[in-house]
Structure 1
Amino acid sequence: MSPATRLFRRLLLPAMLAPLLAYVAPPATGAEPAPLPAGQFPQPALVEGGYPYQLFIPRALDEAGDTRWPLLLFLHGSGERGVDIARVKTHGPPKIADRDHDFPFILISPLLPAEEDWDIAKLDAILRHVTARLPVDPGRIYLTGLSRGGHATWRWGAAEPGRFAALVPVAGRGDPATACALVDVPVWALHGDRDDVVVPDGSFAMSRAIRACGGHRSRLTIYPDMGHNAWDPAYESPALYLWLLQQRKQR
């Protein structure tokens, strides 16, 4: 077990779960979803019009009764594209959830086919499907992704700024022309200062543009002497997940 994981479980996990378990919303209306095994990844799923995806169910979900849970949607990078759904667990939140079933989010990890780019309409189909069937807190839906997934995080967030409570693009590049759409959305961008695949200006430019539009809810972390793989330190940091759980979509 890594030091970050030990810190996450022993010190920060109780603090992360406290606000989660304190907020109890009424049960969702409509038909009750079929029970899912908690604390693990059920079988991969496929939504019509979407992508294959892995769904992680926190171990504490069954014990929480009618509590609504935060949902985290993770978009992988180019290296994980293909047909092997297990590759979504190579990096980031699904990797952490696979080894720690107390990970305090419902987690969606779609798989992008080879040579394709993320399609917002297909991602939206998955998100609608999952939120209709699981006890998701609609005020705490978060989007994150690395590299190609980081690009899509910026793109989807700017296209639907009212959809997400927070965005975490890692080693990603956005279009500064869309930045004004994100003035009211909490964003934490993370990048390596020596990234020669997606140069760090991909994050700098978006952060500057958001602030130029009057936004004050964005933050930027630049890792010194770090190349493209900013995702390992980013996603291994318990502080990132604690920050996410503190964000709630403005009504």
Structure 2
Amino acid sequence: MKTSLSLMLVIGLSFLHIKELRAQRFESYEKHRYIQNKDTLPYRLLLPEGYEKDKKYPLVIFLHGAGERGNDNEKQLAHGGALFIKEENRLKYPAIVVFPQCSQQSFWSNVKIAGNGTNRVFEFTNGGTPTVPMQLVMELVKELNSKYGIKQRQVYVMGLSMGGMGTFELVNRMPKTFAAAIPICGGADTATAANLKKTKWWVFHGSKDDIVLPRYSEEMVAAMKKNKVSVKFTLFPEANHNSWDPAFAQPGLMNWLFSQKGSR
């Protein structure tokens, strides 16, 4: 019994240590909350090293997946947070990076979900009233533009899973804002494709994804190409739902993102 209790104590302390190290790792991301009326959007903000108020920088919005929802203002950095604090990325691509956090009971995009596993079906909506978190993100983008020096031709959005769906939705709702977008294992209503032309796209998915089937990205990419949207598509043959791992490791990902410039 003593051995079992000791093991549990060691495991518990190790978990707390890992959590503390993770928090320290992301301490460069400032904690903020955007409040509109009675609604609150927690978000983390990373400023470039040596940030200068009189300079302008690219802006990156990163939308997390369903597992990182909540209001702790920490979980949303779990996937993608490390990408932007890599020293080589901070030095080569100085940018303002923002990770908003969706509330636990909501979603970035307007979508109905039915079934489980490979039988799970996503029914996307084109238009309609945005969810509260999506509306708050849209307003936050406007506030960031007024508060910081943002290069208007270099505003980007990335997202995975629920956030991949949110990436499509955010660009559809703000079609003149984003120079480039990277949705990972997401999807959207194919009818929105015609409205995505002002943005360059790099879409990722895992061919073995049994949470969000790859057909949702495949159908969007087909519709985008049909509507002459500039889009690249990478389907990882061995990846399941966590296709964000090989996507983040994709050679040239950051260079591609920051080399895109909008017409504004």
Structure-to-structure mapping, 1:16-35, within 5 angstroms = none
The reply on whether 1:189 has 2:203 as its aligned counterpart is yes
Structure-to-structure mapping, 1:179-218, within 5 angstroms = 179-215=193-229, 217-218=230-231
Does structure 2 retain, via aligned residues, the 8 Å contact 1:164–1:249?
Answer: yes
Structure-to-structure mapping, 1:1-251, within 5 angstroms = 40-48=28-36, 49-62=39-52, 66-92=54-80, 94-98=81-85, 100=87, 102=91, 104-118=94-108, 119=131, 120-215=134-229, 217-237=230-250, 239-251=252-264
SS of structure 2 residue aligned to 1:43: strand
Residue 60 of structure 1 deviates from its aligned partner by 3.4
Residue 114 of structure 1 deviates from its aligned partner by 0.8
Report percent identity of matched pairs. Answer: 31
SS of structure 2 residue aligned to 1:114: coil
Structure-2 separation of matches of 1:160 and 1:128:
11
SS of structure 1 residue aligned to 2:30: coil
TM-score using structure 2 length: 0.74
Higher strand proportion: 2
Name the count of aligned residue pairs.
209
- Between 1:114-123 and 1:141-150, the stretch displaced more is 114-123
Structure-2 separation of matches of 1:249 and 1:67:
19
Structure-2 separation of matches of 1:197 and 1:181:
27
Read off the aligned partner of 1:245 and give its amino acid letter: F
Structure-1 separation of matches of 2:263 and 2:55:
20
Does structure 2 retain, via aligned residues, the 8 Å contact 1:75–1:144?
Answer: yes
Structure-2 separation of matches of 1:205 and 1:225:
20
Q: Which has the larger radius of gyration?
A: 2
What are structure 2's unaligned runs of at least 5 residues?
1-26, 109-130
Residue 238 of structure 1 deviates from its aligned partner by 5.2
Structure-1 separation of matches of 2:150 and 2:199:
19
Deviation sequence 1:183-219 (CA, Å, 0-9, x none): 332011000010011111111111110111223x111
TM-score using structure 1 length: 0.78
What are structure 1's unaligned runs of at least 5 residues?
1-38
Structure-1 separation of matches of 2:213 and 2:135:
27
Residue 66 of structure 1 deviates from its aligned partner by 3.4
